[in-house]
Amino acid sequence: MSSLGNIKNILSNFDKGQLVGIDIGISSVKVALLSKGKKNQFVLEGFAVEPLGEAVIIEDEIQKPDEVLNALESALEAAQIKKKIICLGMDGPNTMTKRLKIPDGSKDELRDNVEWEAEQYITFGIDESVLDFNILSKDKDEDVADVFLAAVAESTVESYLELLKSINLAPRVVDLNVIALSNLFEKINHQSIEDISDEGAVIVDFGAQKTTVIVYRNSAPVLTKEIYIGGVLVTEEIQKGMGVNFTDAESLKVSGDEKGNIPEDILPIIESHNQRLSEELKKTLNFYIAAGSSDQVGHCFVTGGSSLLPGTIDMLTDLVHLPVQPLNPFDIITVRKKYSEEEIEQIASMGLVAIGLGLRAV
């Protein structure tokens, strides 16, 4: 690297402002940069998505780092993002969240109590993890604290951070995707968040590789769950059933035939997918949607590109017995005129995690 490159890299560590949100998923890389406008309104300065090939990332382990770096650099270039300070999102089996009630105490005592309680839930080992927690409330009468815990395997974090640093990006914050989505959810619904928080809400993100479920109550998630059923399974079944390649199968699923219609041969594949997903969602949400349950939720929100599959919203509506509302980041975020209406719709359906990560600033 040139001396000038070294200086720029060092200076990026002192840079301030909004962080570039980077969401590295199994099937794509998404990047987003926001700025603050008037009256604390946010402006989307840049967004891009670049696909990843098959088996580039397995679970949350990077198998082909060069392909991830190429996709990331292409996304940053396409979004015209030159800023180097970033917020990296993490998810997968080497991450976890948990809502805990622990004995209250000093800051050090609280951390000891959190680690003591967390040890039984962190499957990848507390000694090999990085954890943080946020105190949501304290009950002085009961002398307990309501805490939201987040943890990630240290080796997984380090592998991602080293990769990003190799292209001179400066990671300043590591966040979990479910937290980024929850934070954006709160901002989108800021005018009614207190009522929603009291009544409870289900947030479902229908992704390509998995479906993420968040049950939100009392100012934070009380449940986060990843169901490894996503829209890519539909694409693979179309590929097998119709004898087409993966790209053509994805196009048929998303855009239909030359007239824009979903072929009749594909509809049973989508219906079967939705039925299987409904069964898994019901297992996850059974306690929270059961009639008469004291924890029954009053709202349901949805995002993710796979939510656009025919019948998916109807399936979810039948399951939760509630109106399903789309989470639209552009209720609170304005955009530069360079984005077409179609591009804005695409970002609104599949870019919320990257945008949520981009809410962070230093």
Q: Give me the helices (H) in the chain, please.
A: 3-12, 65-78, 107-118, 154-165, 177-188, 193-199, 231-242, 246-255, 267-289, 312-320, 341-350, 352-357
| Among the listed residues 30, 25, 10, the one whose alpha carbon sits nearest the alpha carbon of residue 75 | 30
Report the SS3 class of residue 353.
Answer: helix
Q: Where are the domains of the chain?
A: 3-94+157-190+332-357, 95-150, 227-324
Q: Which residue has the higher pLDDT, 1 or 197?
A: 197
| Among the listed residues 281, 312, 317, the one whose alpha carbon sits nearest the alpha carbon of residue 299 | 317
CATH of 95-150, one of 3.30.1490.300, 3.40.30.10, 1.25.40.20, 3.40.50.300: 3.30.1490.300
Task: Tell me what the pLDDT averaged over the chain comes to.
Answer: 89
Of 137-146, 180-189, 228-237, where does the model show the most confidence? 180-189
| Among the listed residues 207, 189, 225, the one whose alpha carbon sits nearest the alpha carbon of residue 298 | 189
At residue 337, the pLDDT reads 76
Q: How far is CA 302 from the centre of its chain?
A: 12
Q: What is the dihedral of CA 182, 188, 190, 193, to 10 degrees?
A: -50
What is the domain class of 227-324 according to CATH? alpha beta
At residue 195, the pLDDT reads 95
**Mean pLDDT value across residues 64-80:** 96
Structure confidence by residue, pLDDT tens digits, 208-236: 889 999 999 988 999 999 999 998 899 88
- At the second CATH level, the architecture of 3-94+157-190+332-357 is 2-Layer Sandwich (3.30)
What is the model's pTM?
0.89
> Can 95-150 and 227-324 be said to share one CATH topology?
no
241 pLDDT band (50/70/90 cuts)? Answer: confident
Q: Output b/e per residue, 151-161; b: 16+ Cβ within 10 A.
A: bbbbebbeebe
149 pLDDT band (50/70/90 cuts)? Answer: very high
What does the alpha-carbon distance between residue 136 and residue 200 come to, in Å, rounded to a whole number? Answer: 16
Q: Output b/e per residue, 64-88; b: 16+ Cβ within 10 A.
A: eeebbbebbebbbeebebebbbbbb
Provide the terminal-to-terminal Cα distance of the chain, rounded to the nearest Å: 27
Task: At 12, list the tokens.
Answer: 């990026």
Structure confidence by residue, pLDDT tens digits, 84-130: 999 999 998 899 999 999 999 898 999 999 999 989 999 898 899 99
